[in-house]
Amino acid sequence: MRPTTRRRGLVALAFLGPALLGMAVFFVYPLAMTVYYSFTTFNILSSPKWNDFANWKYLVGQDPLIVTAAVNTLWLIVILVPIKILGALLVAWALTRARHASGVLRTIFYLPALIPPVASTIAFVFVLNPSTGPVNQMLSLIGLRPGWFTDPAWSKPSLVGLSLWVLGDIMVIFLAALLDVPTEQLEAAELDGAGGIARFWHIIVPAIRPVLLFALVTGIINAMQMFTEPAVASGTAMGKATVGAGSSTTLGWPSNSTLTYGQLLYQRAFGSNLMGYASAMAVVMFVVTGLVMIFLLRRFSGFTAEVAR
Amino acid sequence: MQFTTQRLKKSVAMAAAVGCVLGFGLTGCSTGGPSGPTIQAQAPSTVSGDIEFWHFFTDREAEVLQNAVDSFEKKYPDVHVTVKSGQDDEKMRQAIAAGQPIDVGLSYSTDQVGPLCSSGAFVDLQPFIDRDKVDMTQIAEVAQSYTAYEGKRCSLPALADTYALYYNTDMFAAAGITTPPKTLDELTDDAVKLTTFNADGSIKTLGFMPLLGYYENSEPHWAVMAQAGWLNKDGTSAVGSDAAWQKLYAWQKNLIDKLGGYKLVSDFQAGLGQEFSEQNDFQTGRVAMNIDGEFRTAFIADQAPDVKYATAPLPLAADKSKAYGAGYITGNVLGIGKGSTNPEAAWALVKYLGLDTDAQVLMGNGLKNVPTVKSALTSPDLEVSDEYKVFLEVYQNPNSQTAPASIIGSQYQTILGQFSQKWQSGDASDVASGLAEVDQQINDAVALGSMG
């Protein structure tokens, strides 16, 4: 290697050094340790002891809640994420069409996203309280009394409702993307006789594809790791809007209908002291998330330079 | 660039080497604290130095703890205690595991005594107890049981939470009931009498909530009513083999049916008020009888002083009526962290908070929890109302129960809780096979937690 090339390489390494160090300490090391712990019996307080594949066998065939938690999480990915994206896109599109008070409307739709998740969830559950909440008091006039967060059949759809209420974060990104769609293309298509749906599919969607993919990727990751909202909703609906002591006992209520994979992982790690087993669960989550992301990015190629141009 | 087989092998070998270094070479870092402090052969005449005390209380309750620490420092002027309040149990366990020098820790969860004792995170107190000839009989046996694990005493109780029956005396009088229920059959009869309905058929006021998961209706609290057992001596599940559980679930099903069925009762539950707010169902009169802890007396005095109520031991199954007077007991536990740099001063604080009469009375009055030392229970300085007195008696009753410590923490309770949800909603109909399955699930988890 020539001295100049070598010097350039060292300079590049020096610039990359802090980032590489951060990656090693905060990503590679925890990841390696998690994989190692997944083959051990470990409760934080004692040194881990190698147990071969016991954690993996328990995960595959013995954990009575793993399937429930995985199915619930899959439900959130398949139902909640698309609905939230469509809802945010719809609201953003409507806001681009608003002729009056668009600033006020944007603020109104964005504001719920500024509320801390714990506070917004508690407020939402109170509003939907089957007995005292204003929503059910109105619905009761037409003979409806949904159980919302207290009925296993309604609890996950209620989480969808909550996610729609706080869709401002992704809505504002869609809004920016929609305002950036070239108007000349839309006008040209209109002159050529393209209808609203055709303009949407053939001009708007391709133009905002990177943003759509971003929303999909982050939405799926958030859904796979979802913890706070269902945990707070369960506790509040159970009458135990507390944290700390015993908070893990309320996870999943009612009837495990809101138990997510992340919650089960937490419960196994800190409620049952099965840190080794929880590590195996974390490895599975990491691998599945990685595979889903690879599939999405390869399938839709929304982040490629070609599209970005 | 072509990725040849040789390059691939080289990359895999490199990745494996890095993984080994990161994964195995640094393993000790996470649990690499000191192996445990040593104690002096003779009790020192004086103790001195700095110690750190972690506890979970906040706000008003933290002030009560601070007052107790202040009185400790007056008694031991050469010891300075740094108090870290508001420390969640999980945070404390992680800090101890990381070798942080926590001298004294106060945990709210008796479920964690198993891991804390077996791992040595809380050091064995028996050498201190033997050396100082501490009379352990001044602590009720049940409280002794939940502060040790497999014979290893790594903690002392520091105030107990005791559970009994609260009943609304106005509602009782209106229904013509003069005494609290002593058996489960009486509880059923009273619950039915006290339940009223709206014009649309929904429940207006409920005599007693028959669903587990509601407020303090939990399996451990209910187990006392049938004197049902949890674990065998080897740590495996006794739930399926103890017929008391089957009787308890049969009684529950009968009560649900008599109150109108699961749908009606669960609809009523859906409208509950927050347990620790003014809207608590017992405080608002939605429910006439509730199982709750002694701390509720303080909540009622503060939030609903007009409610007329009384307390009683938990009603029991007819074949266990000789055990009447019992309730459920749990509480806070005190231990010395394995990283303690001043174990003698730490032990002095543990002994003071856990065994000193004045300190126990001070904390009992301030926190409205039950003192765990018998001398404090009979102290004239302990503020005792008629309602609170029942909890002192329940604490001393030899038939009172707790949930035993397990290597898997509270997971065995959670597993039974899964069955309870299915059973009470009607999704499970065979209680015997359901509990046998619970046994298997608990045993699998215990086996996993005990491996290595």
- pLDDT reported for residue A304: 58
Please indicate, yes or no, if residue B235 is contained in any of the structural domains: yes
**Mean of the pLDDT values across residues B307-320?**
97
Q: What is the pLDDT of residues A233-268, one digit of tens each?
A: 999 999 887 654 445 568 998 989 999 999 999 999
Q: Tokens 């712990």 map to which residue?
A: A37
Q: Please, what sign has the CA dihedral across residues B211, B212, B214, B220? A: positive
User: How far off is chain A from B118, nearest CA to CA, in Å?
Assistant: 8
Q: What band does B418 get if pLDDT is binned at 50, 70 and 90? A: very high
Q: Is pLDDT of B102 > 80? A: yes
User: How far off is chain A from B270, nearest CA to CA, in Å?
Assistant: 6
- pLDDT reported for residue B44: 86
Q: Is there a contact between A1 and A13 (Cβ–Cβ < 8 Å)?
A: no
Q: Is pLDDT of B254 > 90? A: yes
Please indicate, yes or no, if residue B292 is contained in any of the structural domains: yes
In this complex, do A58 and B276 lie within 8 Å of one another by their Cβ atoms?
Answer: no
Per the prediction, chain A carries an average pLDDT of 90
Domain end marker among B351, B376, B396: B396
Does residue B64 sit in the same domain as residue B210?
no
Does residue B55 sit in the same domain as residue B102?
yes
Q: Is pLDDT of B30 > 60? A: no
Please indicate, yes or no, if residue B112 is contained in any of the structural domains: yes
Contacts of B276 in chain A (CB under 8 A): 240, 242
Phi, psi of A226, deg, nearest 5: -55, 130
Q: Is there a contact between B235 and B151 (Cβ–Cβ < 8 Å)?
A: no
Spatial distance between the Cα atoms of B228 and B222, rounded to a whole number of angstroms: 9
Q: What band does B112 get if pLDDT is binned at 50, 70 and 90? A: confident
Does residue B307 sit in the same domain as residue B374?
no
Q: What band does B229 get if pLDDT is binned at 50, 70 and 90? A: very high
User: How far off is chain B from A132, nearest CA to CA, in Å?
Assistant: 7
Q: Is there a contact between B164 and B391 (Cβ–Cβ < 8 Å)?
A: yes
Q: Is pLDDT of B190 > 80? A: yes
CATH code of the domain containing B188: 3.40.190.10
* Beta-strand relationship, B148-149 and B287-293: unpaired
User: How far off is chain A from B408, nearest CA to CA, in Å?
Assistant: 5
Does residue B129 sit in the same domain as residue B205?
no
Spatial distance between the Cα atoms of A23 and A13, rounded to a whole number of angstroms: 14
Spatial distance between the Cα atoms of A115 and A127, rounded to a whole number of angstroms: 15
Q: List b or e across B252-286, with b for residues whose CB sees 16 or more CB atoms inside 10 angstroms.
A: bbebbeebbebebbbbbbbbbbbbbeebbbbbbeb
- pLDDT reported for residue A248: 59
In this complex, do B214 and A147 lie within 8 Å of one another by their Cβ atoms?
Answer: no
Does residue B334 sit in the same domain as residue B307?
no
Does residue B334 sit in the same domain as residue B249?
no
Please indicate, yes or no, if residue A124 is contained in any of the structural domains: yes
Please indicate, yes or no, if residue A195 is contained in any of the structural domains: yes
Residues in contact with B260: Cβ distance below 8 Å, sequence separation at least 6, in sequence order: B195, B197, B203
Please indicate, yes or no, if residue B37 is contained in any of the structural domains: no
Closest residue in A to B118 (Cα) is A46
Closest residue in A to B219 (Cα) is A249
Q: What percent of chain B has pLDDT over 90?
A: 75
B82: β partners? B52
In this complex, do B449 and A273 lie within 8 Å of one another by their Cβ atoms?
Answer: yes
Q: What's the total number of domains in chain A?
A: 1
For each of chain A's 309 residues, which pLDDT tens digit applies?
677 888 999 999 999 999 999 999 999 999 999 999 999 999 887 889 999 899 999 999 999 999 999 999 999 999 999 999 999 999 999 999 888 888 999 999 999 999 999 999 999 999 998 888 899 989 988 988 899 999 999 999 999 999 999 999 999 999 999 999 999 999 999 999 999 899 999 999 999 999 999 999 999 999 999 999 999 999 999 988 765 444 556 899 898 999 999 999 999 998 888 999 999 999 999 999 999 999 988 887 655 555 544
Q: What is the pLDDT of residues B136-175, one digit of tens each?
A: 999 988 899 999 988 899 999 999 999 999 999 999 999 9
- pLDDT reported for residue A154: 95
Q: Is there a contact between A159 and A270 (Cβ–Cβ < 8 Å)?
A: no
**Mean of the pLDDT values across residues B220-239?**
96
Q: What's the total number of domains in chain B?
A: 2
- pLDDT reported for residue B427: 93
Please indicate, yes or no, if residue A26 is contained in any of the structural domains: no
Contacts of A122 in chain B (CB under 8 A): none
Question: Taking the complete model, does pTM exceed 0.80, yes or no?
Answer: yes
In this complex, do B448 and A29 lie within 8 Å of one another by their Cβ atoms?
Answer: no
Q: What percent of chain B has pLDDT over 70?
A: 92
Q: What are the angstrom distances between the C-alpha of B408 and each of A187, B107, B238?
A: 66, 17, 15
Q: Which of A43-52, A156-165, B187-196, B237-246 has the least mean pLDDT?
A: A43-52
- pLDDT reported for residue A303: 57
- pLDDT reported for residue B3: 40
In this complex, do B444 and A131 lie within 8 Å of one another by their Cβ atoms?
Answer: no
- pLDDT reported for residue B242: 97
- pLDDT reported for residue B15: 44
Spatial distance between the Cα atoms of B221 and B198, rounded to a whole number of angstroms: 30
Please indicate, yes or no, if residue A154 is contained in any of the structural domains: yes
Segments forming the whole domain that contains residue A183: 57-308
Per the prediction, chain B carries an average pLDDT of 90
Please indicate, yes or no, if residue B279 is contained in any of the structural domains: yes
In this complex, do A272 and B408 lie within 8 Å of one another by their Cβ atoms?
Answer: yes
Does residue B140 sit in the same domain as residue B167?
no
- pLDDT reported for residue B25: 38
Taking residue A17's Cβ as centre, other Cβ atoms within 10 Å add up to 10
Q: Is there a contact between A136 and A128 (Cβ–Cβ < 8 Å)?
A: yes
Segments forming the whole domain that contains residue B100: 49-161+329-396
Does residue B141 sit in the same domain as residue B253?
no
Q: Is there a contact between B78 and B49 (Cβ–Cβ < 8 Å)?
A: yes
Spatial distance between the Cα atoms of B219 and B222, rounded to a whole number of angstroms: 5
Residues in contact with B36: Cβ distance below 8 Å, sequence separation at least 6, in sequence order: B120, B123, B124, B338
Contacts of B273 in chain A (CB under 8 A): 239
Please indicate, yes or no, if residue A272 is contained in any of the structural domains: yes
ipTM of the complex: 0.85
Burial class (CB in 10 A: 0-12, 13-18, 19+), A300: middle
Spatial distance between the Cα atoms of A167 and A144, rounded to a whole number of angstroms: 26
Does residue B277 sit in the same domain as residue B186?
yes
B79: β partners? B49
Please indicate, yes or no, if residue B6 is contained in any of the structural domains: no
Q: What band does B452 get if pLDDT is binned at 50, 70 and 90? A: low
Residues in contact with B119: Cβ distance below 8 Å, sequence separation at least 6, in sequence order: A43, A45, A46
Q: What band does B22 get if pLDDT is binned at 50, 70 and 90? A: very low
Does residue B169 sit in the same domain as residue B318?
yes
User: How far off is chain B from A37, nearest CA to CA, in Å?
Assistant: 8
Q: Is pLDDT of B18 > 90? A: no
Please indicate, yes or no, if residue A46 is contained in any of the structural domains: no
Contacts of B214 in chain A (CB under 8 A): 238-239
Q: List b or e across B94-122, with b for residues whose CB sees 16 or more CB atoms inside 10 angstroms.
A: ebbbebebbbbbbbbbbbbbbbbbbbbbb
**Mean of the pLDDT values across residues B23-40?**
51
Contacts of A236 in chain B (CB under 8 A): 274
Does residue B241 sit in the same domain as residue B266?
yes
Does residue B271 sit in the same domain as residue B375?
no
